Amino acid sequence: MAKFDLNDSSVVVIVGSGAGGGTLGNELAQKGVKVVILEAGPRIENHDFINDEWESFSQLAWTDARTTSGTWRVARDFSGLPAWIVKAVGGSTVHWAGASLRFDEHEFKVKSTYGNIPGANLLDWPVTLAEMEPWYAKAENKMGVTRTNGIPGLPGNNNFKVLEAGARKLGYKTVHTGNMAINSQPRDGRGSCQQIGFCFQGCKSGAKWSTLYTEIPKGEATGNLEVRPGSMVVKIEHNASGKVTGVVYADEQGAMQRQRARIVAVAGNSIESPRLLLNSASTMFPDGLANSSGQVGRNYMRHMTGSVYAVFEKSVHMYRGTTMAGIIRDEAANNPKRGFVGGYEMETLSIGLPFMAAFLNPGAWGRSFTSALDGYPRMAGMWLVGEDMPQETNRITLDPVVKDKFGQPVASVHFDDHPNDVAMRAHAYKQGAAVYDAVGATVTYPTPPYPSTHNLGTNRMSEKPRDGVVNKFGQSHDIKNLFVSDGSQFTSGAACNPTLTIVALAIRQADYIAEAMQKKEI
Amino acid sequence: MREIDRRSKHSRRVFIKGAAAAVPVAAVATSVGVSIDNAWAEETSALSPSTMKTLLKVARDIYPHDVLGDSYYITAIKPWDGKAAKDPAVKSLISDGIARLDQNARDRHKVPYVEVAWEADRVVLLKEIEQSAFFQKVRGDLVVSLYNQKEIWPRFGYEGSSAELGGYIDRGFADIDWLPKA
């Protein structure tokens, strides 16, 4: 396994080891590029994952201090936990559900398609679906996505069967067990899904793709990749010519280290990535790195989300089996006649009794609440996930008061729903309930959004430097050897789950970086 | 479909563990035939027995599940005594909160909270203090300390950890049998 010197200025430093960072690290290592991944969290292998929601949360979740503001309910119910993401090697690919969907063509062209939506800071991506298709194909092959590359779909569990029956009764057409990066048959040295049911707690069998046990060990096997867990990057440094030269990070013992670098790629998820750029402000870049546009931290998106749980006369046991292997795609298209632009997906979802108590209706108590929980074994559930509007005022800033243990200001997350998000959610709740009513639900519960799992857009791609932070390859407009490699690059959020697109962009970015290095452009 | 046996296999063991581990004297009391139901609240270090008994009633009224005996609620609220012993601010939060609730009950019903006979009347009293730090803290703690007890999960038809049993691939992940044909 590689071990690079702190003063080795030929390495590419990647901050974060999730879908973006972990994939980029392996792809570069395969091409012979020397890479150091600095991961803030510990390395926890999959046999150590825990099938227990709160214990697993303590093991995996990013619980470092953050602050919140805005009218979103998360700020009231979970003021210190705006996002439910992972702090561990593998990042949020440890707890992701596995849903791997391509953007629709119009979702790369939202400004052209939706026009001027008041309050929305819409912009077309500098890339198109046609340009992304080969990269999507590579990502699907890498991750072993079902219903691509001849891989069969996963078998439907009880929760899916309820969703499917309701969807058919309503006349929905595109209903199946999803495009999932979860093995339905053994592939790539990993076994097939055992229907364990704790996808969000880390896949103990390894059937679900995660950079933790795919990209990272493969990259390490080349001898070109070193992963340093417990390494929290606090600052990116640059020289007088405005090129980045390396990073300062707290190592596992909390001691500050300086790793020199030829290139730095930031992939710490859409809250930490802009925070790092902002915390790296200097005399030359007083507003933070890569921020000449003022867009770093802005346009924070979290998807329009919500859930519908329904109770039936007879048992469902929704928690048995793959959590999110079930989808209705009929509402994903852009159909403004519904009263909003963009679309949404309806995906099976289950949480265990402990999380159901915490998230069904945060703060609620009394008989109406306990009656809902008494229905737990007869409950089916779906997640609603749709495109939300980027807004300049939804943003990550540095908290003026609260600091982390290294003295760095923590991220403050401000979010207000856009009227389009509200209209879409109302529609999605109604359709979700209708799916279950169609097969005899006795009661349905429109459940509010959980702390954000899809954090996007805070270092967005743009054709013109004045509109965004990075170009079509995730390279910052201002600093040629500084890249962004996670979902914060997203110019808009699309309806579907973001991971496949993050991976596709990372594979593409690796090609771009390797070529530019070879040509000595960076 | 494979249904779940709602009788918790751990019920008895947990009753002893839940009530007695927190109150060792209570276990002794049980062995000499004194009812554990009356003993659990007596040996407290910071909060008074009457405060603990009222807290139990409050917990039941916040998350009423008639299928659950008191032992689970006792397990859920018992740690407040230890926290109060360590932190005077917690002690006054709980003691003062219960005192206020009792005062409101006496003003309205001439009896302390635990003696207000109907749940609906007690819920009105809780509604009045819903925004208080006392209520928020007690409820916020209870939503984890009650529902995160593995022993109650079978009562709610939830099976918990499955990986060590091979997941559900051969244990009913797709055994639903009452749906109309899709």
Q: pLDDT, tens digit, for every residue of A310-363?
A: 999 999 999 999 999 999 999 999 999 999 999 999 999 999 999 999 999 999
Tell me the sheet residues that pair with A475: A483
Q: How many distinct structural domains can be found in chain B?
A: 1
Whole-number pLDDT of residue B14: 43
Cβ contact B157–A315 (<8 Å)? yes
Helix B49-62 with B70-77: angle, nearest 10 deg: 110
Please tell me the distance in Å from A161's CA to the nearest CA on chain B.
Answer: 8
Is 60 exceeded by the pLDDT of residue B32?
Answer: no
Q: For A150-207, how does the pLDDT look when each residue is reduced to its tens digit (9 = 90+)?
A: 999 999 999 999 999 999 999 999 999 999 999 999 999 999 999 999 999 999 999 9
pLDDT band at B149 (very low <50, low <70, confident <90, very high): very high
Q: For A98-123, how does the pLDDT look when each residue is reduced to its tens digit (9 = 90+)?
A: 999 999 999 999 999 999 999 999 99
Whole-number pLDDT of residue B18: 43
Please report whether residue B180 resides in a domain. no
Determine phi and psi for A311, rounding to 5 degrees: -110, 140
DSSP string, A220-262: HHTT-EEEETT-EEEEEEE-TTS-EEEEEEE-TTS-EEEEE-S
Please tell me the distance in Å from B89's CA to the nearest CA on chain A.
Answer: 22
Average pLDDT for A479-498: 98
Facing residue for A373 by CB, picked from B3, B156, B176: B156
Please report whether residue B112 resides in a domain. yes
Would you call B34 an interface residue with chain A, using a CB distance cutoff of 8 Å? no
Whole-number pLDDT of residue A447: 97
Please report whether residue B8 resides in a domain. no
- The structure tokens 């579907």 sit at A496
- Give B31 or A459, the one with higher predicted confidence: A459
Please tell me the distance in Å from A119's CA to the nearest CA on chain B.
Answer: 34
Is 90 exceeded by the pLDDT of residue B29?
Answer: no
Q: Which residues of A162-201 are buried (b: 16+ CB within 10 A; e: fewer)?
A: bbbbbbbbbebeebbbbbbbbbbeeeeebeebbbbbbbbb
Q: For A207-246, how does the pLDDT look when each residue is reduced to its tens digit (9 = 90+)?
A: 999 999 999 999 999 999 999 999 999 999 999 999 999 9
- The structure tokens 């996963």 sit at A154
Pairs across A and B, CB distance < 8 A = 131
Please tell me the distance in Å from A50's CA to the nearest CA on chain B.
Answer: 8
Residue B7: count other Cβ atoms within 10 Å of its Cβ. 9
Please report whether residue B123 resides in a domain. yes
Cα–Cα distance for residue pair B96/B76, rounded to 1 Å: 20
Facing residue for A157 by CB, picked from B1, B146, B174: B174
Cβ contact B169–A363 (<8 Å)? no
Q: In what order do the strands lie in the sheet with A263-266?
A: A225-228, A35-38, A12-15, A263-266, A482-484
Would you call B5 an interface residue with chain A, using a CB distance cutoff of 8 Å? no
Would you call B166 an interface residue with chain A, using a CB distance cutoff of 8 Å? yes
Q: Specify whether the CB–CB gap between B122 and B53 falls below 8 A.
A: no
Cα–Cα distance for residue pair B87/A469, rounded to 1 Å: 48
Please report whether residue B37 resides in a domain. no
Cα–Cα distance for residue pair A326/A154, rounded to 1 Å: 9
Domain range enclosing B115 = 88-156
Please report whether residue B105 resides in a domain. yes
**Cβ burial, residue B10 (10 Å; 0-12/13-18/19+):** middle
Please report whether residue B34 resides in a domain. no
The torsion region of residue A266 among left (phi > 0), alpha (psi -120 to 50) and beta comes to: beta
Cβ contact B64–A352 (<8 Å)? no
Facing residue for B63 by CB, picked from A197, A314, A370: A370
Chain A hits for B159, Cβ within 8 Å: 317, 319-320
Whole-number pLDDT of residue B36: 54
Nearest CA in chain B to A47: B163
Q: Which pair of tokens denotes residue A410?
A: 């923590």
Helix (H, G, I), strand (E, B) or coil at A45: coil
Cβ contact A366–B64 (<8 Å)? yes
Interface of B with A in 59-78 (CB under 8 A): 61-65, 67
Please report whether residue B107 resides in a domain. yes
Nearest CA in chain B to A164: B182
- The structure tokens 């996808």 sit at A199
Please tell me the distance in Å from A183's CA to the nearest CA on chain B.
Answer: 13
Name, in order, each residue with C-beta under 8 angstroms of A358's C-beta and a sequence gap of 6 or more. B143, B144, B147
Cβ contact A376–B158 (<8 Å)? yes
Cα–Cα distance for residue pair A400/A413, rounded to 1 Å: 12
Residue B61: count other Cβ atoms within 10 Å of its Cβ. 19
Q: For A73-86, how does the pLDDT look when each residue is reduced to its tens digit (9 = 90+)?
A: 999 999 999 999 99
Cβ contact A363–B171 (<8 Å)? no
Q: Specify whether the CB–CB gap between A34 and A2 falls below 8 A.
A: yes
pLDDT band at B57 (very low <50, low <70, confident <90, very high): very high
Cα–Cα distance for residue pair B86/A234, rounded to 1 Å: 36
pLDDT band at A367 (very low <50, low <70, confident <90, very high): very high
Please give the C-alpha separations between residue A445 and each of A127, A454, A463, in angstroms, as whole numbers.
Answer: 39, 22, 43
